[in-house]
Structure 1
């Protein structure tokens, strides 16, 4: 039997259409791209997490000559959340990038490992984490995904281990 998955998301023409907290969050993710260490790929990614108490915690990708040892911006930001605000719910995470090899209008989304990590945080807190995706260009569209399930259907969860 063939079945179908439906992905629902909100698309904005630019970040000016976002409400103030989400606009500030995306600005923080764009700022975080400047903190990235990406001497090999020249692809700088920034992420920012909006906490329920209003704090924003950011992270940037950090590359390593031994490529598997690098860390993505989303996981850097979420690791900081674990240290700085372990008992505060996450409302949203924003992801942006700058490609020093030539910027374009593309929007990126979290890699598979980052999707799984976001999923774990969402499961732990018992409420959805929305995801804002854009690039650093002022004219960039913004995509808002309401929950990680949209990007990671058939998630591997704690229940999978039972």
Structure 2
């Protein structure tokens, strides 16, 4: 038997003011995107903003539907919009934030496994990692370089290409 260990690294910032202006702006764009959330059932609003290499920002917000699981997470809304409309303009970074009036969020909300898998596919497609910032409006910001920090055992099978 061989024992192995996986470690992840991320940066934690206590306020937006500790980020560079570009990252701070993208976190605020995620808040703006959250305004279009359709979340009447969970009342848990999520916003995502993608910054592309060209500087363009793409927005996504969670979209729920009474016929579960017909809804879609904010991250995938933004990522699929990129894939359909801007696939030749690489994604540099993604910021995600969430809010609910039902309770207080005290730490960043992480993307679900489906969103992480889509993010992984698009990182592979563009041949480079996507910086991810998870912004808790009442708490800290977690910043990572690439999806493998969240999902070290990604599902990839090269023979499926």
Shorter-chain TM-score: what band?
over 0.9
Structure 1: 4+ residue segments shifted above 4 A: none
Q: Secondary structure at the match of 1:67?
A: coil
Task: Find the counterpart in structure 2 of residue 141 from structure 1.
Answer: 140
Work out whether 1:103 is the aligned partner of 2:101.
Answer: no
Residue 69 of structure 2 is aligned to residue 68 of structure 1:
yes
Contact 1:30–1:135, Cα closer than 8 Å, also in 2: no
Q: Deviations over 1:81-115 (max 9, x none)?
A: 12331211001111100112122212111100000
SS in 1 for 2:35: helix
What is the TM-score normalised by the length of structure 2? 0.94
Residue 2 of structure 1: CA displacement? 2.0
Q: Tell me how far apart the structure 1 counterparts of residues 130 and 84 of structure 2 sit (CA, whole Å).
A: 18
TM-score for both structures, normalised by structure 1: 0.94
Summarize deviations over 1:25-75 as a string: whole Å, max 9, x none.
Answer: 100101111110000000000000010011110100000111210000000
Unmatched segments (≥5 aa) in structure 1: none
Unaligned runs of 5+ in 2: none
Indicate if the aligned counterparts of 1:49 and 1:56 stay in contact, CA closer than 8 A. Answer: yes
Displacement of 1:160 in angstroms is 5.8
Number of equivalent positions: 160
| Distance in 2 (alpha carbons) for counterparts of 1:104 and 1:98 | 7
- The alignment yields a C-alpha RMSD, in angstroms, of 1.3
